Amino acid sequence: MPITEITTEREVSLSEAAERAHRLLDQRGWQAHYDDLGHGATVTAWRCTLHDAHGHPIPGGTGAGKGHTDAARVGAVFEAIEHYTSRHPELHHADIAPHPAGTVAEALGPDPITAVLAADPEVPVGCVRYHAAEEPQHELLAPAALSVPYYCAEDHADQRRTLGDHADYRVLARYASNSGSAIGTSHNEALLHALNEAIERDALSLLLVRAFLAERAYRPQVLDVDTLPGELVEMTTAVENHLGDSVWLVEITTDIGVPTVLAYTPPSTHHPRHRRGLGTSLSRHHAIYRALGELLQGELVGEVTLTEQLAHLADYHTGLHRCATFDLGAHLAHAETIPYRPTPGHQAPADQVEAVLAHLRAAGYTAYTRTLGQHTLPIVHALVPGLERFMTILQGVLNLPGPRAHHHRNAPGEHLPAQRTSPEPNGS
């Protein structure tokens, strides 16, 4: 069946996007191997694994796509290309230069990683250069770990030292994340997805703090499924049928104002871990579509067992352990049900980028960008200093909320531990 659909946040049709991805792979002598994880279902997830000219899987070259089958298949190959680029630090060495950690911390301002950098201000830390999205002449130096987390790996220590980076990554690695990375057929397309992802991860981080680290009870807002457009009702039903559980659509839009939705199932007797999917878009319709697709994708791809990490968090701090287990069941029991509210119609990605940047600016934030790799399909990392990346606690990573999360807590609550700058935490 030909792919002719143009999606809400794409500049070209899915068939053209697929052609561009395979053209890039052909230039490298690579092949894409696909698996339909939904086995023919209309709403599904696909996995793509890149193979070299000898038929061997390429390390790091695996991706997954979600949604309706054509979009999921194209999304999978795009993500595989993106993952390969972000998971090979050596591809970025030419862009990395050491700078004093204290200088970098001062430039970043009230960012979650600032306290860790400021703890050893003289040590050189490997940085890359970003440019302000709206005023590219303004530059920002930021740790390479914020766009290439594999740079922090222990087996990369010798390469870091060769680059003149002598920072202690035993702590810094906990705040490493490529949140805000995206690939597209154009710079604007990739930047739009990257900005939305940064906003999405921030919204999830703030939700965790409000639900599990604030004293006053958090009352979530959940969307009334009966008020959704018909196609979203059908998609919700399809996902629920596959999961064997009711899906909650939680409205978690923050003060930034770009619609963000969490599709969620709480832990239950037949499924001991929560399941979640997130979506952020100027189109609330598309945000819900993405959240439902990601929820199903997580189920089809398979979850990672975090037993050891969760036990470590339980010993360290009960509030952080509650964040990591992410059981919203008690909160949902007294949730406020709200109707679906449509947002304005589709815009070109360039116009959407302008609108998202305006939302960030109005909330007091500046977005910076850098391009990863030298692909004909741009891979963009958007860094918005000050936005939260605490959501990595859900992967069992011991890190602490930053200044924004503390500011947005709705009431004084449980005492949070001080920001640790030593390699190992002590006590709880």
* Domain 17-90 CATH class label: alpha beta
Spatial neighbors of 97 by CB under 8 A, at least 6 apart, are 126, 127, 163, 164
pTM: 0.93
Topology match between the domains 17-90 and 199-361+399-409: yes
The predicted pLDDT at position 425 comes to 42
Q: What rounded mean pLDDT belongs to the chain? A: 91
Q: What is the pLDDT of residues 286-344, one digit of tens each?
A: 999 999 999 999 999 986 767 777 888 888 899 999 999 999 999 999 999 999 999 98
Q: What is the dihedral of CA 347, 351, 357, 359, to 10 degrees?
A: -40
pLDDT at 5 over 60: no
Token output for 427: 């006590």
Domain boundaries, the chain: 17-90, 91-175, 199-361+399-409
* Domain 199-361+399-409 CATH class label: alpha beta
